[in-house]
Amino acid sequence: MRVPTPVAKSQKTMDAYHQEALDSGLKDRTLLAQLWPFMKPHGVWLWLGIVSITLGAGLSLLRPLIMLHAIDGSLKTHDPDLIFWGGMQFATVALCEQLLQFAQTYAVQVLGARSMADLRVSVFAFLCRLPLGFFDRQPVGRLVTRVTNDVDSIQELFNSGALNAVGDLLRLFGVVAIMLSLDASLSLVAFAAMPVIGLLMVWVRRRARDAFRSIRGETARMNSNMNEQVNGVALIQAFGQERNKAIEFDGINSSYRDSNIRSIKYDAIQDAAIDAVGSVSLASIIVALGYHGASFGTVVALTAYLAQFFEPISQLAQRYTLLQSALSGAERVFGLLQVPDRDAPERTSIAIADGSREWALEFDHVSFGYKPDYDVLHDVSLEALPGESIALVGPTGSGKTTITALLLRLYEARQGTVRVHGRDVTGLGRDELRRQFAVVPQDVYLFSGTLAQNVAAGEAPDLARVEQVLRQMDIYELLGRRPGGLETVVRNGGSNFSSGERQLIAFARALYRNARILILDEATASIDSQTEGRMQRALEELLRGRTSIIVAHRLSTIRKASRIVVLQKGRVVERGTHDELLQQNGLYAALHELQFSREGSAAPLDEASQRAAAPPAPPAPA
Ligand SMILES: Nc1ncnc2c1ncn2[C@@H]1O[C@H](COP(=O)(O)OP(=O)(O)OP(=O)(O)O)[C@@H](O)[C@H]1O
Ligand SMILES: [Mg+2]
């Protein structure tokens, strides 16, 4: 037995993360029914398409009949005019058919483009409403694939004229009826091959569907991989991992190629088999003619109809393959739309325990874990009066950011209650709750847009106010001096700004929002003393008149707080004012001492926590 190497083990873990459930369990009929609401508003195009398809199918049936009458008529009467008029009729019918062809192609594709645009918007809007916990489990590229490639594969159904299947079926029935009426026994010889085609379609269906499912899955993997690698390209280059990453990508690409080849194989088998069956049918008619007399016109018409008979069958088979591809996309899109979670749904049950309105913020014996069986917060209680500023202090991973996430109800407490102005957050509407907060996150994210748009956080920026906010914080000179000023374009999540500048922009964003409660998750990265001073002044502006909860790493920030709550491994271990905590001589005091004895230490809080946790050193021998 081979012992898995660490590399193979990590690879397995990652493969499991990227593996998607390929079969959503939704029935084909359900999938198609779910498409309907998106097509319905564009019904005009649908009807235009169906009408032109039907008329086109009817006209195409006329052509061989025109030929039959022209040929047999002129042979009988020796009147050349009959051939001429037959030709004219044939040309008129063919021209009308082409016009109808144009109308239906246009109508059906417009229908597809419009309804799929609607679908894309609703998938996107749906994604935005999902709780954060959902995104923790999904690679970004996979979600991007759902909105783009998977919806495209459904749209292909319209572009390739899947609705023409209606026309194909009509033509098929028409051809069968006319052939039978022209010469029943010859036609039956031709139809003998039908069961073979039926069996073939059944054989191909499952296999093609599986191939398309894996194509869609591999596309998602490829997009996820691309997304991660482009985002991390600086790191990849710094660590010289270009080759390894290329090999990783090649692995995914090869699986994608193989799935593609598999689907091509079934498509080709199907096409070739149908053509073969068609030729055999034609041959059998010719053989049968040896024993069976028919007029020359009938033979010409029958062979023309026979060609017309196999054309829709072959078309239907191709559309069927496309349908499989589209359904495999629909499975993924509608499978996603089935996710039952909603971000912070408002609850009205009696379990909601509103508390005293005295507190602006309150955690009442809250426990929480990102995973069901592993808590990262244990029985946390803390509260803040309106206008108070609470500092959260503790080593890395102790749960500070998690507390701020629970306040915004980005995640939900497993036990206990979180209240804002006395109201249980689960009883508040999402917007009503979040409107009360301005947030400066630990890792600042800037949107693509201008600097001003970023300060306005998505709203149409009021430039005068943006400037006023920046001046109020005394950072206008710093940010506004860039060549583009407030209109500087922010690229790639803010990569063209330094991390200190990003922090300041986030401060400005919070001040612009002017909410009642401020959540500030201070960045751990150290900054130069000049920026530090600037941050302090900006922060003072931000705190004025607001309730705030601050995850603090710098003592200067901590000192400003009304009260300090010290966390360790998800528990509140100390609380009080700066002076009280120093007197307690515990974790906070240890941290404080470190901060002053070792200015500039990268992670004083971690060391402090280790010290506080360690048993007292034995007394030195006298
Ligand atoms: N999205 C997540 N999914 C699973 N676990 C998480 C997630 N976010 C955080 N954790 C875990 O929860 C614990 C608390 O994390 P949290 O981010 O609250 O720490 P923190 O006190 O803010 O640390 P830091 O000072 O480094 O920012 C950590 O053990 C972390 O690994
Ligand atoms: Mg944090």
Residue 159 confidence (pLDDT): 86
Q: Are 547 and 388 in contact (CB under 8 A)?
A: yes
CA of 570 to the centre of ligand 2 (A): 12
pLDDT tens, position by position, 26-39 = 778 888 899 999 99
pLDDT tens, position by position, 106-147 = 999 999 999 999 999 999 999 988 888 888 888 888 888 888
pLDDT tens, position by position, 260-300 = 999 999 989 888 888 888 888 888 877 877 777 677 777 77
CA of 524 to the centre of ligand 2 (A): 8
Q: Are 473 and 541 in contact (CB under 8 A)?
A: yes
Which atom of ligand 1 is nearest the CA belonging to 567? 21
Average pLDDT over residues 367-386: 93
Ligand 1: residues within 6 Å at CB? Answer: 136, 370, 376, 394, 396-402, 442
Residue 322 confidence (pLDDT): 85
Nearest to 248 by CA among 265, 229, 267: 229
Which residue's CA is minimally distant from atom 30 of ligand 1?
A: 397
Query: Which of 400, 522, 571 should be mutated for ligand 1, with most atoms under 8 A from CB?
Result: 400
Task: Among the bound ligands, name the one nearest to the CA of residue 394.
Answer: 1
Q: Is the dihedral of CA 567, 572, 578, 580 positive or negative?
A: negative
pLDDT tens, position by position, 180-238 = 888 888 788 878 877 888 888 888 888 988 899 999 899 999 998 998 888 888 888 88
Chain centroid, CA 88 distance in Å? 55
Ordered DSSP codes for 447-496: -SEEHHHHHTTTSPP-HHHHHHHHHHTT-HHHHHTSTTGGGPEE-TTTTT
Which residue's CA is minimally distant from atom 28 of ligand 1?
A: 397
Residue 603: pLDDT over 60: no
Residue 76 confidence (pLDDT): 83
The predicted model scores a pTM of 0.76
CA of 73 to the centre of ligand 1 (A): 88
Task: Among the bound ligands, name the one nearest to the CA of residue 378.
Answer: 1
pLDDT band at 608 (very low <50, low <70, confident <90, very high): low
Q: How many residues does the chain have?
A: 622
pLDDT tens, position by position, 432-487 = 899 999 999 888 888 888 899 999 887 788 889 999 988 888 888 888 778 888 88
Which residue's CA is minimally distant from atom 19 of ligand 1?
A: 397
Task: Among the bound ligands, name the one nearest to the CA of residue 402.
Answer: 1
Distance CA 151, CA 123 (A): 9
CA of 368 to the centre of ligand 1 (A): 11
Which residue's CA is minimally distant from atom 6 of ligand 1?
A: 370
CA of 135 to the centre of ligand 1 (A): 15
Q: Domains of the chain by range and CATH?
A: 14-337 (1.20.1560.10), 361-613 (3.40.50.300)
Residue 581's alpha-carbon distances to 389, 459, 575, in angstroms, are 16, 42, 7
